[in-house]
């Protein structure tokens, strides 16, 4: 279970809101992942989570990259590498899920990867976002 706290705040309201949504999903699914006999609703929730990640990951990672870049944050390259690594993991996971279908082991695998990513990445490179320069003000800075 991941508890939202100030260490997870990036200083960007939209990014923080998106992180909170992701954490809510992961926490709910973590409870479900411990069940040996999931209900139909729990399986449907997991499928909705996968569909959510399909839209969320490209949108969220793009927003973070843009924000890190605009703020000239030194964590930009590390964040990009982490985004690529997690996105590639997720694409492989999704292929496996399409072939194997719902299995508790897959639920646990995805949740472990998400939890690890949130803790490493958000507490690591994105936590620096709030400490980076604020966006450059003034026209002509590219």
Evaluate whether residue 60 is within a structural domain: yes
Residue spans of alpha helices (H) in the chain: 13-33, 40-70, 76-100, 104-117, 123
Domain that holds residue 120: 10-130
Cα–Cα dist 142/140, whole Å: 6
| Residue 59, φ and ψ in degrees, nearest 5 | -65, -50
pLDDT tens readout for residues 118-140: 888 776 655 566 666 554 433 34
Evaluate whether residue 106 is within a structural domain: yes
Q: Which residue carries 């890190």 as its tokens? A: 68
Q: Are 122 and 20 in contact (CB under 8 A)?
A: no
pLDDT tens readout for residues 2-16: 888 777 787 788 888
pLDDT tens readout for residues 78-98: 888 999 999 999 999 999 999
Please give the tally of structural domains in the chain. Answer: 1
Instruction: Pick left, alpha or beta for residue 19 (phi over 0 → left; psi -120 to 50 → alpha; otherwise beta).
Output: alpha
Evaluate whether residue 137 is within a structural domain: no
Evaluate whether residue 140 is within a structural domain: no
pLDDT of 33 reads: 67
CATH number for the domain that contains residue 104 = 1.20.120.50
Evaluate whether residue 2 is within a structural domain: no
Q: Which residue carries 């982490």 as its tokens? A: 82
Evaluate whether residue 1 is within a structural domain: no
Q: Which residue carries 């590390």 as its tokens? A: 78
């Amino acid at each position: 279970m991941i508890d939202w706290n100030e260490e997870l705040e990036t200083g960007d309201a939209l990014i923080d809101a998106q992180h909170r949504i992701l954490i809510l999903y992961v926490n709910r699914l973590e409870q479900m992942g411990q069940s040996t006999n999931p209900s139909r609703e729990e399986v449907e929730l997991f499928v909705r989570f996968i569909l959510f990640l399909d839209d969320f990951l490209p949108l969220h990672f793009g927003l973070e990259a843009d924000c890190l870049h605009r703020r000239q944050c030194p964590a930009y390259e590390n964040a990009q590498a982490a985004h690529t690594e997690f996105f590639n993991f997720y694409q492989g996971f999704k292929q496996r899920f399409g072939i194997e279908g719902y299995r508790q082991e897959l639920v646990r695998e995805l949740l472990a990867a998400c939890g690890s990513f949130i803790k490493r990445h958000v507490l690591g490179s994105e936590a620096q976002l709030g400490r980076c320069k604020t966006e450059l003000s003034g026209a002509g800075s590219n």
